[in-house]
């Protein structure tokens, strides 16, 4: 089971490595902070009864100076909020990162204005495969 | 109501509107004056006659235009008859965040649509803006000096609602091109089940070979030549294959982040094909559609 005395530092390093290039820490040095909501309920980390899973809610605030989700730098101050679950054994931990990316996109100014794409084969059935152009794609293994 | 399986379309309704604007100069001028004076778009006559082959009558089309395109609310008599239209409710981020059936957008679609047509007609007819007015003015009307044909297209999705007007003067005539860019829409499936799809985009221009040709006219893959007086072709690869990247929440050791992507990425595959789009999918009939005024 994970070592509860070190998982916060582990997550801190993980988040720094994952976000540090995109979101430069602010000048006050507080790029990483435990989520406020977590602090209200107890000390980090949260662990299940037998200690097999630990959870660290966190947030990272930084200036958007590098590519993030394919969005180039906006120089906006952005806060990323997430929860990382830690499983596995000490020195061999696995991290499961659940991050509110939709909120990040909102802060980056990315707008959603798409329409759902529907596969024409789902709509019209495999009758479509009688079209030579599609038959060739199937024969080449490009579409299944 | 009409579906939109591609990102661009003209379809039967814009075909009729083109005929209304292009086939009779006096009618086009009367339409311009009516739009300038504030006549509802649905009441200038273009939607009065039934459209051949459409399951929707004039009343249903007017309801669609006013409710779904412009966000207007009908005033209904006890008999159920629509007496008029009220402005949409004021913007409210909880109760009224969008206009009509547009997604993620609120604004004055009716005014944009109207002003775009007014501008296009002024270019087409060579009519100057009424002095001292800024759209919708009631200045003394100038007589038309020409009548350039207007081409209408609708592009969707776009972050917000806008109309584009471009033109090109030629040796003896000219051409006006209008494109409406609108937000994504979710066409409500009506009780009759008339809508095949609901704001979806198809990932291929190809259609099933067994479909009744009379329902897909003038659909054709790689047409040899431009026939008729109208056409709308799409040139693209055969298939737009979406692929799903690994989930960002899959467990991994520290320091091995895998951020998500913004929607599923697309890899277009196959030959480049030219497809004459079926009118029902937003294309145009080779001979277009002719607006015939409704008989009183």
ipTM comes to 0.74
Q: Are residue B61 and residue B167 in the same domain, yes or no?
A: yes
Asked if the C-beta of A131 comes within 8 angstroms of chain B's C-beta atoms, the answer is yes
Q: Are residue B29 and residue B158 in the same domain, yes or no?
A: yes
| CA nearest to B28, candidates B131, B130, B150, B208 | B150
Asked if the C-beta of A110 comes within 8 angstroms of chain B's C-beta atoms, the answer is yes
Inter-chain touch B206–A95, beta carbons under 8 Å: no
More confident residue, B259 or B166: B166
Q: Which residues of A touch B204 (CB under 8 A)?
A: 120, 128, 134
How far is CA B170 from each of CA B68, B85, B164, B175, rounded to the nearest angstrom?
37, 41, 20, 8
In a domain, B192, yes or no: no
pLDDT at B135 over 50: no
Asked if the C-beta of B212 comes within 8 angstroms of chain A's C-beta atoms, the answer is no
Helix/strand number for chain A, H first, E second: 5, 7
pLDDT of residue A32: 62
Q: Are residue B168 and residue B28 in the same domain, yes or no?
A: yes
pLDDT of residue B134: 46
More confident residue, B270 or A127: B270
More confident residue, B120 or A4: B120
pLDDT of residue A31: 59
pLDDT of residue B133: 52
Q: Are residue B169 and residue B268 in the same domain, yes or no?
A: no
pLDDT at A4 over 80: no
- Which member of A10, A96, A120 has the closest CB to residue B249? A96
pLDDT at B281 over 70: yes
pLDDT at B2 over 80: no
pLDDT of residue A29: 55
More confident residue, B28 or A71: B28
pLDDT at B261 over 70: yes
Q: Which of A123, A139, A143 to mutate to test the interface with B (most CBs of B within 10 A)?
A: A123
Q: Are residue B16 and residue B103 in the same domain, yes or no?
A: yes
pLDDT at A43 over 70: no
How far apart are alpha carbons A83 and A25 in whole angstroms?
Answer: 19
- Which member of B157, B206, B261 has the closest CB to residue A115? B157
How far apart are alpha carbons A50 and A106 in whole angstroms?
Answer: 38
How far apart are alpha carbons B7 and B279 in whole angstroms?
Answer: 14
Q: Which residues of B touch A116 (CB under 8 A)?
A: 199-201
Domain count, chain B: 2
Q: Are residue B226 and residue B102 in the same domain, yes or no?
A: no
**Confidence tier at A110 by pLDDT (50, 70, 90):** confident
pLDDT of residue A39: 35
pLDDT of residue A40: 30
Prediction pTM value: 0.84
| CA nearest to A102, candidates B244, B264, B185, B263 | B263
Average pLDDT over residues A96-111: 90
In a domain, B5, yes or no: yes
pLDDT of residue A122: 80
pLDDT of residue B70: 96
List the domain range (segments joined by +) for residue B170. 1-74+98-132+145-184
Asked if the C-beta of B236 comes within 8 angstroms of chain A's C-beta atoms, the answer is no
Q: Are residue B128 and residue B40 in the same domain, yes or no?
A: yes
CB contact residues (below 8 A), chain B span 141-160, against chain A? 156-159
Q: Specify the domain boundaries for CATH 3.10.450.50 within chain A.
A: 7-113
pLDDT digits (tens, 9 = 90+) for B51-76: 888 888 998 899 889 999 999 988 88
Q: How far is B35 from chain A (nearest CA, A)?
A: 30
pLDDT digits (tens, 9 = 90+) for B179-196: 999 998 876 545 444 444
Q: Are residue B155 and residue B224 in the same domain, yes or no?
A: no
Which of A19-28, A100-109, B96-105, B258-267 is predicted with the least confidence, judged by mean pLDDT?
Answer: A19-28
Return the residue of B nearest to A98 by Cα.
B249
Average pLDDT over residues A120-141: 86
Three-class SS string for B94-122? CCECCCCCECCCCCCHHHHHHHHHHHHHH
Q: Are residue B111 and residue B244 in the same domain, yes or no?
A: no
pLDDT of residue B142: 83
Q: For residue A107, how many C-alpha atoms fall within 13 Å in the half-sphere facing its CB?
A: 20
Average pLDDT over residues A15-38: 68
Where do runs of H (alpha helix) occur along A7-141?
7-19, 36-41, 101-108, 120-124, 132-139
Inter-chain touch A13–B159, beta carbons under 8 Å: no
Decide: B109 and B69 in contact? Cβ < 8 Å.
Answer: yes
Q: How many CB pairs under 8 A join A and B?
A: 132
> Strand, coil or helix: what is A32?
strand
Asked if the C-beta of B40 comes within 8 angstroms of chain A's C-beta atoms, the answer is no
More confident residue, B265 or B110: B110
Q: Which of B3, B154, B254 to mutate to test the interface with A (most CBs of A within 10 A)?
A: B254
In a domain, B103, yes or no: yes
Asked if the C-beta of A10 comes within 8 angstroms of chain B's C-beta atoms, the answer is yes
Q: Tell me the pLDDT of chain B averaged across its residues.
A: 88
- Cα-trace Rg, chain B: 22
Q: Report the CATH architecture of A7-113.
A: Roll (3.10)
Q: Are residue B155 and residue B216 in the same domain, yes or no?
A: no
Q: Tell me the pLDDT of chain A averaged across its residues.
A: 81
Q: How far is A10 from chain B (nearest CA, A)?
A: 7
**Confidence tier at B172 by pLDDT (50, 70, 90):** confident
Return the residue of A nearest to B260 by Cα.
A69
**Confidence tier at A37 by pLDDT (50, 70, 90):** very low
pLDDT of residue A143: 85
| CA nearest to B11, candidates B63, B44, B56, B48 | B56
Q: Are residue B213 and residue B179 in the same domain, yes or no?
A: no
pLDDT of residue B147: 97
Inter-chain touch B261–A13, beta carbons under 8 Å: no
Q: Are residue B109 and residue B18 in the same domain, yes or no?
A: yes
> Strand, coil or helix: what is A14?
helix
């Amino acid at each position: 089971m994970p070592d509860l005395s070190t998982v916060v530092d582990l997550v801190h390093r993980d988040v720094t490595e994952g976000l540090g290039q995109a979101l430069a820490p602010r000048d006050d040095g507080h790029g990483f902070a435990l989520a406020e909501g977590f602090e209200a309920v107890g000390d980090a980390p949260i662990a299940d009864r037998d200690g097999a899973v630990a959870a660290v809610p966190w947030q990272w605030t930084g200036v958007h100076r590098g590519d993030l989700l394919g969005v180039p730098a906006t120089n906006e101050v952005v806060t990323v909020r997430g929860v990382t679950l830690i499983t596995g054994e000490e020195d061999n931990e696995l991290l499961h990162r659940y991050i509110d990316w939709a909120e990040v996109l909102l802060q980056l100014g990315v707008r959603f204005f798409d329409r759902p794409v529907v596969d024409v084969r789902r709509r019209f059935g495999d009758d479509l495969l009688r079209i030579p152009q599609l038959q060739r794609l199937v024969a080449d293994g490009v579409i299944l | 109501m009409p579906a939109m399986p591609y990102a661009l379309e003209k379809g039967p309704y814009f075909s009729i509107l083109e005929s209304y604007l292009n086939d009779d100069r006096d009618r086009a001028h009367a339409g311009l004056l009516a739009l300038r004076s504030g006549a509802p778009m649905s009441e200038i006559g273009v939607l009065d006659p039934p459209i051949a082959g459409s399951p929707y009558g004039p009343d249903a089309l007017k309801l669609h235009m006013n409710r779904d395109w412009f966000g207007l609310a009908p005033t209904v008599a006890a008999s159920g008859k629509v007496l008029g239209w009220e402005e949409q409710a004021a913007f409210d981020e909880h109760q009224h965040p969008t206009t009509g059936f547009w997604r993620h957008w609120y604004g004055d679609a009716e005014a944009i649509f109207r002003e775009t047509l007014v501008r296009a007609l002024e270019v087409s007819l060579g009519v100057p803006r009424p002095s001292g007015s800024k759209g919708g003015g009631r200045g003394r009307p100038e007589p038309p000096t020409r009548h350039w044909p207007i081409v209408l297209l609708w592009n969707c999705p776009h972050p917000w609602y806008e109309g584009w007007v471009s033109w090109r003067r030629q040796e003896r005539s000219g051409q006006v091109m209008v494109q409406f860019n609108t937000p994504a829409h979710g066409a409500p499936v009506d009780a009759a089940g008339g809508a095949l799809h609901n704001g979806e985009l198809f990932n291929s221009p190809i259609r099933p070979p067994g479909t009744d040709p009379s329902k897909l006219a003038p659909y054709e893959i790689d047409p040899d030549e431009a026939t008729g007086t109208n056409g709308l072709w799409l040139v693209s690869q055969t298939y737009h294959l979406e692929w799903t990247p690994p989930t960002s929440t899959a467990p991994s050791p520290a320091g091995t982040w895998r951020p998500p992507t913004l929607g599923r990425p697309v890899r277009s595959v196959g030959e480049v094909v030219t497809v004459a789009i079926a009118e029902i999918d937003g294309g145009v009939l080779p001979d277009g559609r002719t607006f015939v005024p409704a008989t009183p």
